[in-house]
Amino acid sequence: MALIIDNLTKTYKNGRGIKSVSFQVNEGDIYGLLGPNGSGKTTTMKIITGLSRADEGDVQIFGRSVENDGEKSLEHIGCLIEAPAVYEYMSAKKNLENAAAYYKDIKAPRIEDILRQTGLLQYQNDKVKEFSLGMKQRLGLALALLSNPKLVILDEPANGLDIEGMVAIREIIMTQAKSKGITFLISSHLAHELEVMCNKIAIMKEGRLLKTATIKEVLEKSGSLEKYFLETVESRKQFGNMSRTK
């Protein structure tokens, strides 16, 4: 099992956060977290990657607990949370070289290879401040993939991109999953993007995980992930109303 999320709960001072979130990601999955802004997707991912601590619950990555095993549990993951952590005044290549310095075994050929895989090789010496949003997202993805991780966590990787940019990011992810066997956990509020890219899905809203399913199950039941999401949310509303009237 690549990732086990067990009863994660995190409450912020404003009362928002996540409550009792649990799901599992198998090795080789492209697993999607679908939900509107504020549904708890980013909070969940920050806890998974050690950027935040849960009030309750545990995260296991390839059998190691993030809470108990610290750095060892995170050594096989790459991530892109919220916005790419890049230096705008540096070139794409220099950003990757700077990141590579934190690892022992990343050499120049690996940097060139990841630039090629993400379509940035011809722009490697351009400063990031001259990049479009789509190119910055590609660089963020290149940084997440640089260390040859077995699990990659991507928070809204297509957010703000045009159609061509979304397709480019999607193709990079699907190619990496197929050719390298990398497991992906991807959050988005764009149902269609996750539908065409993922094999499994979890629906989140208002800090709670409402349902998990395979994309095959989603399409057989509802015809589209968008419709499945709306049906799930409506069903939960009706259940909540029934509970309050008892």
What does the pLDDT look like over 36-59, one tens digit per residue?
A: 989 999 999 999 999 999 999 999
Percentage of the chain lying above the pLDDT 70 cut: 96
- Please enumerate in sequence order all residues whose Cβ is within 8 A of that of 120, keeping only pairs 6 or more positions apart, or say none: 92, 135, 138, 139, 142
Average pLDDT over residues 188-202: 95
Q: How far apart are CA 160 and CA 156, in angstroms?
A: 9
**Which residue in the block uniquely carries the two structure tokens 């990079």?**
172
- Tokens at 75, concatenated: 């050594």
Q: Do residues 30 and 186 touch, judged by C-beta distance below 8 A?
A: yes
pLDDT for res 241: 54
| pLDDT: which is higher, 101 or 209 | 209
* Res. 152 pLDDT band, cuts 50 70 90: very high
Decide: pTM greater than 0.75.
Answer: yes
Give residue limits of the domains in the chain: 3-76+149-245, 84-148
In this predicted structure, the answer to whether residue 210 has a pLDDT above a threshold of 50 is yes
The conformational region for residue 220 under phi > 0 = left, psi -120 to 50 = alpha, else beta, is alpha
| Strand partners for 153 | 79, 185
- Please enumerate in sequence order all residues whose Cβ is within 8 A of that of 241, keeping only pairs 6 or more positions apart, or say none: none
* Res. 242 pLDDT band, cuts 50 70 90: very low
In this predicted structure, the answer to whether residue 80 has a pLDDT above a threshold of 80 is yes
Q: Which of 122-126, 149-153, 155-159 has the lowest mean pLDDT?
A: 155-159
In this predicted structure, the answer to whether residue 116 has a pLDDT above a threshold of 90 is yes
Residues 179, 148, 135, 137, CA torsion sign? positive
Nearest to 158 by CA among 176, 171, 146: 171
* Res. 68 pLDDT band, cuts 50 70 90: confident
Distance from the first to the final alpha carbon of the chain: 40
pLDDT for res 211: 96
In this predicted structure, the answer to whether residue 192 has a pLDDT above a threshold of 60 is yes
Q: Which class does domain 3-76+149-245 fall in?
A: alpha beta
| Strand partners for 31 | 185, 200
Average pLDDT over residues 152-180: 91
Mean residue pLDDT across the chain: 91
In this predicted structure, the answer to whether residue 127 has a pLDDT above a threshold of 70 is yes
* Res. 84 pLDDT band, cuts 50 70 90: confident
In this predicted structure, the answer to whether residue 245 has a pLDDT above a threshold of 50 is no
How far from 119 is each of 135, 138, 165, 178, CA to CA, in Å?
9, 8, 11, 17
**Which residue in the block uniquely carries the two structure tokens 């049906």?**
231
- Please enumerate in sequence order all residues whose Cβ is within 8 A of that of 154, keeping only pairs 6 or more positions apart, or say none: 79, 80, 141, 144, 173, 184, 185, 186, 187
* Res. 171 pLDDT band, cuts 50 70 90: very high
- Tokens at 33, concatenated: 């977290």
Tell me how far the alpha carbon of residue 141 is from its chain's centroid: 11
Helix (H) or strand (E) holding 195: helix 191-197
